[in-house]
Each structure stands twice: as C-alpha cells, then as structure tokens.
Structure 1
Amino acid sequence: MFEESSFDVFQVPGLEARMAAIRSEIQPVFQQIGEALVRELETALDRTFYLHIAQHRRRSVHPPENTWAAVGEGKRGYKMAPHFQIGIWPEYVFMWLSIIDQPKGQKSYAETLLAALPEIKALPQDFVINKDHTTAPYFPLSEAKPALERLASVKKSEFQLGRVIPRESTLWQNPENAQEEILATYRQLLPFYELLTKKS
C-alpha cells in the first residue's frame, strides 16, 4: 500500500532515477489495487476490464510530477472513454471517474452527468472534482455543474469525479483499511460509470 516513501518519490531528481523509484515504490501498489478493481467491476457489470499503468514513455527530460493507473474497457487504451483512475501526487492519492483528453462522446457524457447532478451532489461531502488531469487542484461538488457545462461546450475541458486521500491521512497506517476505502470510493462512482457507458 502507499507509504511515506511513495510520496517521497517525487523528490527524486532526474527522469531515469524517478522512474526507477516509481516502478519500485508505486507501480506494485497500482497493480494490486488495479487488479482488485478489475475483479470488482467485472463481477458487478459482467464486462471485461483492463488495467493500464502509466509508463511516461513520451518523457525525455522532465520527470513526472504525478503518476497513475487506469482501469477501463479498452484493451489498447483508456483515454477514449470514461474510465477509472488511481494515482498519486506529492500531496495526495486520488481515485477518479475520469473524462479526459477529448473523447468522442464528450458532450453526451457531460449531458448525462448534468442530468445526474442531484445524485452527484448527494455523494458524501468528501467527494470532489478535478477539471484538468495535469494539475493537482481539486474542487468541491458545488462546482460540478459549471465544470460539466464547460465539458459540454469547450472541447479541451475535462471532468474527474471522486475522492482524494491526503498524504498525512492515518489511513495509510492500515493497508487493508486503505484498500477498502479506495475500493469503496469506486463502488460509489460505479452508478455514474454505468450511466456514461450504457449501451443504447
């Protein structure tokens, strides 16, 4: 499970050294949580899911400021459709239902979630949103409506819904509880994923 050393990875200087630390400290945790999430989703939805762990291969100079893994129904990639992400910034671990990188159905996805806004706002108050997967700031659920309206009308906009667990959380001291909290978050996001991926 994530430990203090997981967050310290982002202090390692240099691309190669930081990637080596990410591979040894963080990616095994992604593998563990991702496999558990795949099992849960396949059982719940009776569909096939795939785990994709970010390798940051396009980077040639600058080391990554965060890293993540994604679970989705695409075997060859995940950004073309709504998907789940588990990831880590220096300050927190995140669990998102993600719509990023201008997927084909972006406007339709936005309209679906706008129609489900009452259910989104009924989520526990520690649920938050993120408007750009390349930046760390997150926002309260009260900002979901304008963010989704922007997703519907602005091509380069993004929307992520979920929860963050701060680096300083005592949850990390109990790995089993931490994993259960992470999986519980995805269970609460599952109804929205189902709405987004409902086959007509």
Structure 2
Amino acid sequence: MFDKNDFKVFEDDTLTGRLDLIRTNLDPKFEVFGSELLKQLEAEYQQKFFMKIAKHQRRTKNPPPDTWLAINQDKKGYKKTPHVELGLWPDRYFITFSLLADIRNRSAYYPILKKYQNKIITEGWGVSNDHTSSLLKSADNFEKVIDHYERVKSSDLVVGYELKASDPKVRIGNYDKLLNEKFMNICQYMVTFNQELNL
C-alpha cells in the first residue's frame, strides 16, 4: 500500500496542489490502513478506538508540511488526549505517541511518564518536546524530555519511530507490515496511560 511515491505529494509547493495530492494519494491509504488498525486494536484491547485523518482545513496560504492519521480513545477528539499518529514528513514516515501541551489533566501524566521511562528508553523509541518538528532525539534523552515537559507548559511530549524515505526498506517497498507492527507496539502506551489515569 505505502510506497516511495507517497512523498511526491510534497513536491507541489502550492496549497491547493498539495492538498489535492494528499486527498487523492494519501487519504485513501490512511482510510484503509487506519481502519485495519482500529480493528486490530479493538480486538486486542476489547476497547473502543477512534480515527481522525488530517484535513488541514484551517490552512489558507501555506501548504501543510506534513499529513497524518490519528487514533485515540475519546470520540470528542484526539488533541487533548493521549494519541498515536501515523504520517509523513517530506523525507520520512513517522509513528508517534503524543501528549500535547494542552492535554487535559496534564500534570497527572508526569508520574506515569516516570513510571514507564525506563521501558521507553530500553525499547529505543525516538523522543521529542515538539510535535510540529520531524526531529526525534535518541531514547537516552528521554529523562531530559520529561523534565522539559514538566517545566515548560508550551512543550509537548512525543515518543516515536521514523522510517526515512532514503531507507533501503522504502526503496525496496513492501513495508506495510513494519509500519503496522510499530504502530501497534507504540499503542500500548496510549492504552496504558489512559488506564493509569483512570485508576
């Protein structure tokens, strides 16, 4: 399904042109791939999950620098809750678990992050304090990322995986299974954090 031609949508530097390419070339893939992820998640966790595909409706001038689908466990919306995204920057795919700056009950997540800090580091996920940047730092920076998230109210908490367009796997093709496995793996944190918060 996904292939190296996905990145061609970013070659159009106009707003309408890029949006048309995203809607034509990527959104149908997100719909199919995301629907399969929902089925897998609901079968594994016996809970309800919800998907949102980015529509970029607020953009009036500049083309979107990235695009994505998001899955969470709150039908009212994903941005104020723990959520997982699968998307593309112009040079890479990304799969990220995020707690954004304005998440509900923000401070309640601080001890949960500390509890799972070593597990996330051991698993080698990339980490960041900015969901609007494609840059993920290595897992050994996670303690600093958590500290920054606690101190700076405008910061995000991002844990994730990236597959660069230059990676041989992308050039060869047939990496849907890899993206699926990474997405399902990182979803454990979304489910666990929601469960921890409800205890």
TM-score, normalised to structure 1's length? 0.91
Instruction: Look up the match of 2:183.
Output: 186
Pair 1:169-2:167 in alignment: yes
Q: CA deviation at 1:28?
A: 1.6
Which letter maps to 2:183?
Y
Aligned-residue identity in percent:
24
Match of 1:197 among 164, 174, 194: 194
Q: CA deviation at 1:153?
A: 2.6
SS in structure 2 opposite 1:84?
strand
Instruction: Look up the match of 2:18.
Output: 18
**Quick one: distance in 2 between partners of 1:191 and 1:22?**
29
Given that 1:87 and 1:94 are in contact with CA atoms closer than 8 Å, whether structure 2 keeps it comes out as yes
More divergent stretch after superposition (16-25 vs 143-152)? 143-152
**Quick one: distance in 1 between partners of 2:85 and 2:144?**
22
Gaps of 5+ in 2: none
Instruction: Look up the match of 2:99.
Output: 99
**Quick one: distance in 2 between partners of 1:130 and 1:36?**
28
**Quick one: distance in 2 between partners of 1:46 and 1:152?**
32
Instruction: Look up the match of 1:141.
Output: 139
Tell me how large the CA RMSD over aligned residues is: 1.5
SS in structure 2 opposite 1:122?
helix
Q: CA deviation at 1:14?
A: 1.2
Instruction: Look up the match of 1:57.
Output: 57
SS in structure 2 opposite 1:70?
strand
Given that 2:136 and 2:160 are in contact with CA atoms closer than 8 Å, whether structure 1 keeps it comes out as no
More divergent stretch after superposition (26-35 vs 63-72)? 26-35
Match of 1:132 among 100, 121, 130: 130
Q: CA deviation at 1:180?
A: 1.4
Which letter maps to 2:107?
K
More divergent stretch after superposition (32-41 vs 45-54)? 32-41
Instruction: Look up the match of 1:80.
Output: 80
Given that 2:86 and 2:183 are in contact with CA atoms closer than 8 Å, whether structure 1 keeps it comes out as no
Instruction: Look up the match of 1:115.
Output: 115
More divergent stretch after superposition (14-23 vs 166-175)? 166-175
More divergent stretch after superposition (22-31 vs 186-195)? 186-195
In 2 relative to 1, CA 174–82 (structure 1 residues): closer, same or farther, beyond 3 Å?
same
Provide runs of 4+ in structure 1 moved above 3 Å. none
Q: CA deviation at 1:136?
A: 1.5
Pair 1:40-2:40 in alignment: yes
**Quick one: distance in 2 between partners of 1:136 and 1:3?**
19
In 2 relative to 1, CA 130–26 (structure 1 residues): closer, same or farther, beyond 3 Å?
farther
Match of 2:156 among 151, 158, 168: 158
**Quick one: distance in 1 between partners of 2:188 and 2:28?**
28
* Aligned length in residues: 196
**Quick one: distance in 2 between partners of 1:186 and 1:2?**
14
Q: CA deviation at 1:169?
A: 2.2
Q: CA deviation at 1:37?
A: 1.4
